[in-house]
A and B are shown apart, each in its own frame.
Chain A
Amino acid sequence: MAVIDTLVQGALLGGVYALFALGLSLIFGVMRLVNLAHGDFIVLAAFIVLVGATSFGLSLPVATLIAVVAMFCLGFALQRLVLEAVLGEDIMPPLLITFGLSIVIQNGLLLGFGADSRRLDAGAFETRSLEVVQGLNVGLAPLLALIVAIAVILLLQLLFYRTALGRAFRATSDNPEIAQLMGIDHRNIYAVAVGISLAVSVIAAVAFGIRANFDPAIGPARLLYAFEAVIIGGLGSLWGTLAGGMVLGIAQTVGARIDPEWQILAGHLAFLLVLFLQPRGLFPARRA
C-alpha cells in the first residue's frame, strides 16, 4: 500500500507541476520564446485572484474567471507592446526582457502587497479527501488539480488541431514568413499565444495558491520545476509536459520515501537521467 500511495501522491504532485509548465511549454512551442518571468506571472495571477476573493468578496471560481480574462489581456498587450519589438533571430533580447519583467513583477508585488506569505482560501475543500481503499487517501484539491491539468491539455489540443486559430498557430510556428504570405498576421497570433499562456497560468496559480503559500518572491523557485517538466516531456509537446510533471513528481515522492533528504534531488536526478537517455525529451514534437 505504501508503494501505491507514494506513486499516487507523486502523480498528483505531477499534475501541479504540469499546470506550472503548460504556459511555458505553449509559448515555447509557438514562438520559441523562453519566458523567464513565467513563475512570477503565476504569482501575479495568484495575487489577482486573492484580491478578487478577499477585497471584492467574489467566490473563488468567479475570481479565477476574472483573472483568466485579465491575464489573457495582459499577455496580449505584453506581446504587442513589449516582446514583439525584440523578437527576432537573436534569442537573447527577449530572454533578457523576460528576466527584467521577473524582477519588475516581484518588486511591484512587494510594493503593493508587502512581503507576507498569502494563500487562497478554499475552505473545507482544502483538507477533504477520498478514501480510495483502506489506508489510501487522495486529497480532493490535488486530485482536482490533476483533472484540471488534463482538461486544459485536452482543450489546448483541440484548439491546436481542430480550429483555424490552431492551424495558424502551427503554421506560424513552422515558418512565420510563409504564414504571413498566406495572410496570417503573425503578430496577433503570437499575442494570442502569450495571452493563452498567461490565462493558463491563472489555473496553475489557483492550484498552487490552495496547496501552499505564495509571496512576491517565490516565483523563480517554482519556475525551475516547470522548466524541468517541459524539458523532460519534450519541447513543444503538451502531453509530454504532463508526462514530464509526472516523472518529476513521482521521482520526488519515491526519493522522499527512501530519505526526505533525497526528495528534491531525486527529481533533479530523474531530469538529468532523461536528458542523458533522451536528449530531446520523452515526447518531442514532430516538427521540432
Chain B
Amino acid sequence: MTRIISPLSRRRFLQAAGSAALAGSSLSAPALAAGKVVKIGYVSPKSGPLAAFAEADDFVLAEFRKAVKDGVKIGGNVYQVELVTKDSQSNPNRAAEVTKELITRDNVGLVLVGATPETNNPVATQCEIEQIPCISTVAPWQTNFIARQAKPGDPASWKPFEYTFHYFWGLEDVIGVFTGMWKQVATNKSVGALFPNDGDGNAWGDKVVGFPPVLAKEGFKLTDPGRFQNLTDDFSAQIAAFRGADAEIVTGVVIPPDFTTFWNQAQQKGLKPKVVSVAKALLFPVTVQALGKNGHNISTEVWWTPSHPYKSSLTGISAADLAKGYEQATGKQWTQPIGFVHSLFEVAVDSLKRAADPSDGAAVAKAIGATKLETIVGPVAFGAANVPPFAAKNIAKTPLVGGQWRLAGDKYSMVITENGAAPQIPLGGAMQALA
C-alpha cells in the first residue's frame, strides 16, 4: 500500500479500496447476491443542441459502473446495480417518452437526470405521475419547482412534490454572485442586460424575482432593451441602447452563438464595457476558446471546478482527481457537468442504501428527502433553511461562486474571483476589469 504515491494511482487505489469494501460485504451473502437487482434509469441529451451537457456521461457512467460492479449493500442484502440510459435527443417530448419507457418497460426503481430544464422537467413530471422517485440537477431550482407547478404564476397554489427531488443553486444565488463580482470593479454601475425570450431570460428579467429589484436596491441602473429570440443574428439595437446608457457592465443569460454575435458586434461598434458577466454561454471551455482572445476576463457563474474542496462519497475521489481523470480519459478540458453528473449517482446510492426496501418507490422517495450527504459538488441536504419553506421538501441548494476565464498562453482557465456566499471554496484571484 505504501508504494502508491502518485495522485493517479491514489485515485485507482481509492477505487480499488471502494470495490474491495463492497466485494467484502458481498462475500458474506453470495447466495442472495445473485437475484437482487436495483435498476437506475438515467436520461440525458446525448444528441441535439443540448448534447454538450451529456458530453461527460460516458466517462462518469463508466466510473460509476466500475464503482458498483460488485453490488451495493442495502438493508443486509447485496443488490446488483443495473444502469439503463436513454437519450432525450434534446427534445422535451422525447425526454418524457423515454422516461415512460424506463418506468414501464425497463421497470427502473429510480430515475436520474441532470441537463437543463428542457430535459429535467418532462422527466420529473413523468416520474411524479408514475410514482417513481426522481433526482434531478443542473438547472436553477426555480425552473424545476415553480415551472412544474399547475399554476406557476400563483404562489398560493404551489404544492410540494412527493417523488421528485432537485438540487442546484437558485436565481437569488446567481444574482448575488454577479453583483458581488461587479462591486469589485470600479464602474458607473450602469448595467446593460441581454435577456432572451426563453425560460431563463424571462426569469432573470422578472420584475419580482429577477435582477431588476435587487439591482435597484444595490444602486445599479439597469438597461433592459427587451426580450429577443434565441439565435438572433444582429444585436445593433441592444448595442445602441447600451451605448446610450453608457453601460460599463453587460450581463445576460444567452446561448453561445448569440453571445459571440453580440460580442463581435459590440467590439466592431465600439462598445467597451469594463465587466461582462454572462451565464449559459460560457459554461464550457470550448465555447470560451471559440472566442479567441476576446474571451479573456469574461466572467460567469461557477457551480463546480476541480478546485472545489470536496470529494466523492461514492469513491472518495477528489474534485481535482475526477477532473484530471476525465482529461486523461478523453483528452478534453474538464467541464462543470462532470461533478454534478457524478454527484447524482452519489445521492442515488446513498438514498438507496438508506431506503428500507429499494424496490418500494415511496420508501426510496422518503430516503431521498432525508438526504444529508457531503458530495463532490458540496453538501446536499433537503429540508434546509437556505431554501424558502414552500420548496424545502424537494429542493436542496449547492454552493455557487463566480469566476473569470483567463487566457494563459493559448488556453483558457477558470479563476474563481467571488465566493461571498460560499467562502469554503477558495478564491483564485481578484476580479480584473476588461482591457
A residues in contact (CB < 8 Å) with B = 2, 5-6, 9-10, 13, 16-17, 107, 110, 114-119, 121, 123, 126-129, 137-142, 211-218, 221, 225, 249, 252-253, 256-257, 259-261, 263-265
Whether B90 lies near A253 (C-beta < 8 A) is: no
Asked if B12 CB lies within 8 Å of chain A CBs, one says no
**Hey, which chain A residues are within 8 Å of B20, CB to CB?**
none
**Hey, which chain A residues are within 8 Å of B48, CB to CB?**
115, 217
Whether A10 touches B233, Cβ cut-off 8 Å, given contacts A114-B55, A115-B55, A260-B227, is: no
Q: B264 is contacted by which of A139, A249, A256 (Cβ under 8 Å)?
A: A139
**Hey, which chain A residues are within 8 Å of B226, CB to CB?**
259-261
Whether B233 lies near A212 (C-beta < 8 A) is: yes
A152 to B48 alpha-carbon distance, docked (Å): 33
Q: How large, as a class, is the contact surface on chain B?
A: 35 or more
Whether A139 touches B227, Cβ cut-off 8 Å, given contacts A9-B234, A214-B257, A263-B232, is: no
**Hey, which chain B residues are within 8 Å of A114, CB to CB?**
51-52, 55
Whether A261 touches B228, Cβ cut-off 8 Å, given contacts A117-B286, A118-B290, is: yes
Q: B257 is contacted by which of A16, A213, A253 (Cβ under 8 Å)?
A: A213
Asked if B258 CB lies within 8 Å of chain A CBs, one says yes
18 further A-B pairs in the complex, CB-CB below 8 A; given A215-B49, A221-B231: A13-B234, A114-B51, A115-B54, A116-B52, A116-B284, A117-B257, A119-B260, A121-B290, A129-B269, A137-B268, A215-B257, A216-B51, A256-B236, A257-B237, A260-B225, A260-B227, A263-B232, A263-B234
Q: B265 is contacted by which of A110, A118, A139 (Cβ under 8 Å)?
A: A139
Minimum CB–CB distance for A248 against chain B, Å: 10
| Chain A residue at smallest Cβ distance from B266 | A127
Whether A253 touches B237, Cβ cut-off 8 Å, given contacts A121-B292, A211-B264, is: yes
Within 123-154 of B, Cβ neighbours of A (below 8 Å) are at none
A206 to B290 alpha-carbon distance, docked (Å): 14
**Hey, which chain A residues are within 8 Å of B231, CB to CB?**
218, 221
Minimum CB–CB distance for A229 against chain B, Å: 12
Whether B264 lies near A126 (C-beta < 8 A) is: yes
23 contacts between A and B (CB under 8 A): A9-B234, A9-B236, A10-B234, A16-B233, A107-B47, A116-B284, A116-B287, A117-B286, A117-B287, A117-B290, A119-B291, A126-B264, A127-B267, A128-B268, A139-B269, A213-B257, A216-B51, A252-B234, A260-B226, A260-B228, A260-B232, A263-B229, A264-B228
Whether B51 lies near A110 (C-beta < 8 A) is: yes
Contact with A along B230-269 (1 / 0, CB 8 A): 0111101110100000000000000011101100110111
Within 64-82 of B, Cβ neighbours of A (below 8 Å) are at none
Minimum CB–CB distance for A252 against chain B, Å: 6
**Hey, which chain B residues are within 8 Å of A118, CB to CB?**
286, 290
Minimum CB–CB distance for A40 against chain B, Å: 14
A68 to B50 alpha-carbon distance, docked (Å): 30
Q: B290 is contacted by which of A119, A257, A264, A265 (Cβ under 8 Å)?
A: A119
Whether A218 touches B257, Cβ cut-off 8 Å, given contacts A110-B47, A116-B52, A256-B228, is: yes
A215 to B47 alpha-carbon distance, docked (Å): 11
A215 to B258 alpha-carbon distance, docked (Å): 13
Whether A123 lies near B257 (C-beta < 8 A) is: no
**Hey, which chain A residues are within 8 Å of B236, CB to CB?**
5-6, 9, 253, 256
Asked if B107 CB lies within 8 Å of chain A CBs, one says no
Q: A212 is contacted by which of B90, B261, B286, B294 (Cβ under 8 Å)?
A: B261
Minimum CB–CB distance for B315 against chain A, Å: 25
Which of B54, B234, B258 has the largest number of chain A CB atoms within 10 A? B234
A252 to B287 alpha-carbon distance, docked (Å): 26
Minimum CB–CB distance for A204 against chain B, Å: 13
| Chain B residue at smallest Cβ distance from A119 | B290
| Chain B residue at smallest Cβ distance from A221 | B231
A254 to B229 alpha-carbon distance, docked (Å): 15
Asked if B270 CB lies within 8 Å of chain A CBs, one says yes
**Hey, which chain B residues are within 8 Å of A141, CB to CB?**
264, 268
| Chain A residue at smallest Cβ distance from B268 | A139
Whether B233 lies near A217 (C-beta < 8 A) is: no
Asked if B197 CB lies within 8 Å of chain A CBs, one says yes
Q: B292 is contacted by which of A16, A123, A211, A263 (Cβ under 8 Å)?
A: A123
Which of A107, A221, A260 has the largest number of chain B CB atoms within 10 A? A260
Whether A127 touches B227, Cβ cut-off 8 Å, given contacts A119-B260, A211-B233, A256-B236, is: no
**Hey, which chain B residues are within 8 Å of A263, CB to CB?**
228-229, 232, 234, 237
Within 283-302 of B, Cβ neighbours of A (below 8 Å) are at 284, 286-287, 290-294
Whether B55 lies near A129 (C-beta < 8 A) is: no
Minimum CB–CB distance for B354 against chain A, Å: 36
**Hey, which chain B residues are within 8 Å of A117, CB to CB?**
52, 256-257, 284, 286-287, 290
| Chain B residue at smallest Cβ distance from A17 | B233
